[in-house]
């Protein structure tokens, strides 16, 4: 009863909020539909220079000794460095050295990374630090990670039920499982002891809705669903999940605003472009889907606007699949995989790019949750990561070139591809993989 009352109250509150967000979003889409073609192109353009400027300023503000006072600094490093890598830009030599030095000082003598020098090692900041160093790449960054001590830290966080704690005496949840297994895997220190029973714990967090919750008995959420699915893939147990239920849940999270919400009856938010969009990239890697119909129907794709010559966002969706104001992005028309050598994504990739570029992108640089909110580095990282996922969502695998028509806006919007399990740029992942396979 109590749960039902909470759910009903949330539905009512959220309905009002949702109308207000939709009003703002649809105003932007109306504006887009009514401005001249040149202005539309400008609106859809990824403001590379401004994003780079915003990101570089952020890195500089962290300073030579990264003196910002909070426990989030390895995260800030990762969000900024990964965003710059997604843009395909190099990092200034001095800033790179500062970052390596700073992260090294966050490393605990007994393994793992804290939020700042001398702070308790924590799995979330360990993940952020390791992904930052993998993103920087090169011997100095990769060799700075004490893998033996890190393995000891991971074993200390391991629980008898198979899950992990975030830190000594900290919370046990799906995030902890993902961050532990992700760093162990990318550093090539994943063994049976670390993997033991973690799959059982993740399975106990898959809810009746089909998504994955942070802990058993909680509500399915995009952030935890990404973590849970990625973990299951890393331990080769993804097929133990209710995949049909999972797909059903995640396809239903893309709304008429074109972006994703994190959970049922909540608001759309740019960061879920990756947390939910990434789940689709993971599912594609599993080569499962509903209904899986592989056939040679090249040329039969409703996102192909090239023959029309009018590349407005609405036209890009074709007649029966509009995802602007009237369309329903969660319609079953998206839940198919067809074609060879491409794969039609299970979500509306063009609609999501529209939300990211028109609603989350801040023209002066950076990305935000939604119109009316301020930009920040977290949303910049996850909007760009989600944008990259979209751009490669039609490619069968990582060796296929991205399809030009899969990229909304000018082709200069194209970002680097990511490895969807770790969320590091693919090239950096391969370098780290090779490095840690031989050392
Ligand atoms: C790798 C790693 C550490 C991943 C973290 C994954 C992640 C984003 C988890 C989400 C946590 C959560 C329940 C947020 C809800 O916030 P909210 O209630 O403000 O947002 P909502 O209304 O959109 O649900
Ligand atoms: Zn967000």
Q: pLDDT for 7-61, tens place per residue?
A: 565 666 678 899 999 999 999 999 999 999 999 999 999 999 999 999 999 999 8
| Residues near ligand 2 ion, CB 5 Å cutoff | 269, 271, 369
Q: Encoding tokens for residue 69?
A: 């006072």
* Catalytic-residue membership of 263: yes
Q: Specify the pLDDT at position 291.
A: 42
State whether the beta carbon of 369 lies less than 6 angstroms from ligand 1: no
For 395, which DSSP code?
A: B
* Catalytic-residue membership of 92: no
Q: Specify the pLDDT at position 267.
A: 95
How far does residue 308's CA lie from ligand 2's centre (Å)?
A: 35
* Catalytic-residue membership of 266: yes
Q: What is the mean pLDDT of the chain?
A: 87
Find the angle CA(75)-CA(275)-CA(82) to the nearest 5 degrees: 40
Q: What percentage of the chain has pLDDT greater than the value 90?
A: 77
* Catalytic-residue membership of 272: yes
Mean local confidence (pLDDT), 380-386: 98
396 band by pLDDT with thresholds 50, 70 and 90 = confident
Half-sphere exposure of 226 (CA within 13 A, CB side): 23
Residue 2 has pLDDT above 80, yes or no: no
How far does residue 262's CA lie from ligand 1's centre (Å)?
A: 7
Closest Cα to residue 408, out of 26, 41, 89?
A: 41
What are the distances in angstroms from CA 269 to CA 228, 259, 288, 376, 432?
20, 7, 27, 13, 31
Please tell me whether the interface predicted TM-score (ipTM) of this complex is above 0.95.
Answer: yes
Residue nearest ligand 1's atom 8 by CA: 223
Contact assessment for residue 193 and residue 158, using Cβ atoms and an 8 Å cutoff: yes
The dihedral through the CA atoms of 297, 326, 386, 309 has a sign that is positive
* Catalytic-residue membership of 271: yes
In this predicted structure, which of 61-75, 149-163, 305-319, 343-357 has the lowest mean pLDDT? 305-319
Q: Specify the pLDDT at position 252.
A: 98
Phi, psi at 270, each rounded to 5°: -55, -30
Contact assessment for residue 128 and residue 78, using Cβ atoms and an 8 Å cutoff: yes
Q: Specify the pLDDT at position 3.
A: 55
Contact assessment for residue 209 and residue 264, using Cβ atoms and an 8 Å cutoff: yes
Q: Are strands 418-419 and 424-425 parallel, antiparallel or unpaired?
A: antiparallel
State whether the beta carbon of 179 lies less than 6 angstroms from ligand 1: yes
Q: Specify the pLDDT at position 179.
A: 99
Q: What percentage of the chain has pLDDT greater than the value 70?
A: 83
Ligand nearest the Cα of residue 381 is 2
State whether the beta carbon of 232 lies less than 6 angstroms from ligand 1: no
Name all contacts of 314-322 with Cβ < 8 Å and 24+ positions apart. 314/33, 316/350, 316/408, 317/348, 317/350, 317/351, 321/348
What are the distances in angstroms from CA 254 to CA 150, 272, 403?
38, 10, 23
State whether the beta carbon of 253 lies less than 6 angstroms from ligand 1: no
How far does residue 358's CA lie from ligand 2's centre (Å)?
A: 16
């Amino acid at each position: 009863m109590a749960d039902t009352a909470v759910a009903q109250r949330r539905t009512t509150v959220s309905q009002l909020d949702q109308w207000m967000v939709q009003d703002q979003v649809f105003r932007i889409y109306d504006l887009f539909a009514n401005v001249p073609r040149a202005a539309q192109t400008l609106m859809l353009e990824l403001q590379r220079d401004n994003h780079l400027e915003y990101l570089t300023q952020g890195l500089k503000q962290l300073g030579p000794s990264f003196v910002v006072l909070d426990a989030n600094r390895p995260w800030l490093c990762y969000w900024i460095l990964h965003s710059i890598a997604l843009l395909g830009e190099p990092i200034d030599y001095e800033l790179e050295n500062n970052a390596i030095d700073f992260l090294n000082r966050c490393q605990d003598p007994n393994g793992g990374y804290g939020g700042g020098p001398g702070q308790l090692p924590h799995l979330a900041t360990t993940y952020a630090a390791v992904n930052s160093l993998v993103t920087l790449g090169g011997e100095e960054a990769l060799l700075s990670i004490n893998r033996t001590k890190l393995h000891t830290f991971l074993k200390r966080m391991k629980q008898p039920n198979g899950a992990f704690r975030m830190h000594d005496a900290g919370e046990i949840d799906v995030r902890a499982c993902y961050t532990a297994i992700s760093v162990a895997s990318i550093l090539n220190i994943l063994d049976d002891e670390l993997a033991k029973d973690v799959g059982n714990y993740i399975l106990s967090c898959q809810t009746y809705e089909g998504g994955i919750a942070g802990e058993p008995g909680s509500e399915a959420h995009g952030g935890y669903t990404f973590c849970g699915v990625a973990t299951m893939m890393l331990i080769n147990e993804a097929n133990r999940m209710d995949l049909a239920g999972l797909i059903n849940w995640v396809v239903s999270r893309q709304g008429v605003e074109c972006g994703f919400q994190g959970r049922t009856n909540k608001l759309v938010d740019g960061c879920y472009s990756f947390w939910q969009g990434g789940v689709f990239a993971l599912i594609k890697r599993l080569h499962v889907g509903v209904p899986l119909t592989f056939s040679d129907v090249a040329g039969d794709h409703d996102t192909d606007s090239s023959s029309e010559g009018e590349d407005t966002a609405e036209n890009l969706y074709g007649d029966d699949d509009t995802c602007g104001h009237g369309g329903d992005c969660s319609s079953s028309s998206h839940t198919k995989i067809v074609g060879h050598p491409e794969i039609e994504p299970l979500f509306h990739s063009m609609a999501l790019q529209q939300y990211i570029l028109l609603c989350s992108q801040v023209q002066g640089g950076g990305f935000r949750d939604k119109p009316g909110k301020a930009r920040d580095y977290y949303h910049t990282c996850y909007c760009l990561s989600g944008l990259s996922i979209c751009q490669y969502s039609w490619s069968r695998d990582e060796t296929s070139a991205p399809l030009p028509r899969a990229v909304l806006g000018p082709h200069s919007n194209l970002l680097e591809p990511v490895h969807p399990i770790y969320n590091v740029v693919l090239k950096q992942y391969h370098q780290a993989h090779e490095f840690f396979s031989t050392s």
